[in-house]
Amino acid sequence: MLFVTRSGDLEADLSASESKGEAPPAKRKRGRPAIVTGEQICETALEMGVATITMTSVASQLGVNHATLYRYVTSRDDLVRQAIDLAVSRTDFPEPSDDGWQDFLYKTANALCGLLDQYPGIATELAGGTFTHQVLHRGAEMMAGLVQMGFTPTNAVLAMDLITDLVVDHVRKSEQLDGRVPSQSMPSRDELAKEWTGPTDTSEEEASLGDIIAAGRAAIGIEPHEWLDNKLRILLAGIGAEIAPR
């Protein structure tokens, strides 16, 4: 940074100082070391997508040396877990109410879906077995809510596990199909639809198969939240028929 003297002419001031035998002013170092916080590091990881970050890429995005990150986290996995915990802590999950367990589970599913949509990559991490303190704590709170509404503890765990698996798996596939999280094995929606071709002959059996493939290709293009809503309704009906309180 250039500091201008009162005369407005830096060169003239330096010359005047030298003519008087004065030492020229010491040069100041440019800028200051970047300062970050643990929350900023986690924020950056969430913005970049936790499924694909490295310690080096996060440090580069923040403009610091990657060694700086180790003041706050012990490893990449620790950073991912802390970032997920931050995202979960910022999410409003429903409380048990008089609206019933179906409404409670439906709203829980949508709150989880909103979290995963907002922060691409978390669904991939959760599907891969990354569990964190906040994830387990919030899950236990949701299960306790179901127990308050009449579920047995075992059935509360089963119901929440079913809902969580459905939402996480759905969002993971959707974000990879849509390219929000890179995948070496998952094609795009357009590629998947092109690969799923119907039969070329017109036999009755093949014609029926053609209708099924056409329906499958149509399903690929359905808006992800609408498709999730369809699956969620069926799952809630199953919970109601098998394990919900009578």
Question: Rounded mean pLDDT of 53-61?
Answer: 96
| Residue 170, pLDDT above cutoff 70 | yes
* Cα 79 to Cα 58: distance, rounded to the nearest angstrom: 10
Round to the nearest angstrom and report the end-to-end CA distance of the chain.
Answer: 73
Mean model confidence pLDDT for the chain: 85
| Residue 29, pLDDT above cutoff 90 | no
The answer to whether residues 198 and 210 touch, using CB atoms and an 8 Å cutoff, is yes
Token pair 């879906």: residue: 113
Sorted by where each starts, the structural domains of the chain and their CATH numbers stand as: 33-90 (1.10.10.60), 97-182+210-242 (1.10.357.10)
Whole-model pTM? Answer: 0.79
Which are the contacts of 28, defined by CB distance < 8 A and separation ≥ 6?
Answer: 1, 3
| Residue 174, pLDDT above cutoff 70 | yes
Q: What is the pLDDT of residues 32-47, one digit of tens each?
A: 445 899 999 999 999 9
pLDDT at 186: 82
Which among 121, 112, 172, 117 has a CA at the least distance from the CA of 141?
112
| Residue 8, pLDDT above cutoff 80 | no
Residue 206's pLDDT band, with cuts at 50, 70 and 90, is low
**190: three-class secondary structure by DSSP:** helix
pLDDT at 28: 42
Question: Rounded mean pLDDT of 20-30?
Answer: 47
